[in-house]
Amino acid sequence: MQNITYSLVIPAYNEGARLGATLERVLSYISQQGGDTEVIVVNDGSRDNTAAIVRSFAEKNPALRLIENPGNRGKGYSVRNGMLNARGKVVIFSDADLSSPIEEVPKLLDALTKGFDIAIGSRWLRAEMQTQRQPLHRQLFGRIFNLLLRITLGLQYKDTQCGFKAFTQQAAQGIFPLQKIERWGFDPEILFLARKFGFKVREVPVAWGHSGDTRIHPLLDGSRMFMEMLRIRWYDLTGKYDATPTGRPATTLPGGPGAA
């Protein structure tokens, strides 16, 4: 089996309208950079032509793989499914809309080469890098959510929800088997687990542009995400996270595609 250095996981649910353009851009980028990179699209029970699009691209590009969820399970389930099936020494996940451009990947990889186990893209460390801001009501929701995360889970990051994160293989294999949240609230859970087990996390400012096709409803999904925060705390208190990660990274990683 070919050795894979980098894996890029893209969760997808009813992404037929924009997935083709995303795959063209991603596959062109990794081709230009060279190296041994795989791209994994996880289809979350889409009712449109998402899977058919991936298959058509995969016929021409062996670097692309399709993984099918058993029905619609949620973004968290999709990311976990992709991360645990990835073969790369470094595993990245990105939203299908490429709100953070694929060209920003070297910024995450640079943090890993400096000894961090996880690099998380951030929209708010340098807000001036946002090419298109969210509407004000969504910005307010995000700030309230971030405050609740700090109070409830003790996560001191500016931005936990940016869908652009990179993990060493050891960190991914140590964290994602323990993940229990399957929908929007999974990001705080994996960062909570990272802290619990001593993985080093670096928050990295990245370019980002708001997509108008977001599927998060601030009030409905916001209340669910708050309940998931409480579930994370409860799982920890009741010992459901008391497992030893499969490994701790101690290696120096190579510079990634496009890295200086």
* Distances 231 to 100, 193, 200, 223, 240 between C-alpha atoms, Å: 29, 13, 24, 12, 11
State the number of CA atoms in the 13 A half-sphere of 112 facing the CB. Answer: 31
Residue 115 lies inside a defined structural domain of this protein:
yes
pLDDT at 249 over 70: no
Read off the pLDDT of residues 23-74 as tens digits, 9 standing for 90 and up: 999 999 999 988 799 999 999 999 999 999 999 999 999 999 999 999 999 9
Q: Where are the beta strands (DSSP E) in the chain?
A: 6-12, 37-43, 64-68, 90-94, 118-122, 130-132, 164-168, 201-205, 208-209
Domain range for 116 is 6-237
pLDDT level of residue 136 (50, 70, 90 thresholds):
low
Residue 253 lies inside a defined structural domain of this protein:
no
Structure tokens at 255: 């510079």
Residue 98 lies inside a defined structural domain of this protein:
yes
Q: How many residues does the chain have?
A: 260
Residue 119 lies inside a defined structural domain of this protein:
yes
pLDDT level of residue 257 (50, 70, 90 thresholds):
very low
Residue 255 lies inside a defined structural domain of this protein:
no
Residue 1 lies inside a defined structural domain of this protein:
no
List of residues 6+ apart from 5 with CB closer than 8 A? 35, 36, 37, 88, 89, 90, 254, 256
Residue 96 lies inside a defined structural domain of this protein:
yes
Query: For the chain, how many structural domains are there in total?
Result: 1
Q: What is the mean pLDDT of residues 134-142?
A: 62
195-228 burial, b if ≥16 CB within 10 A, otherwise e? Answer: eebebbbbbbbbbbbbeeeeeeebeebbeebbeb
pLDDT, mean over the chain? 86
CATH number of the domain at 209, please: 3.90.550.10
User: Helix/strand/coil (H, E, C) string of 190-238?
Assistant: HHHHHHHCCCCEEEEECCEECCCCCCCCHHHHHHHHHHHHHHHHHHHHC
Residue 252 lies inside a defined structural domain of this protein:
no
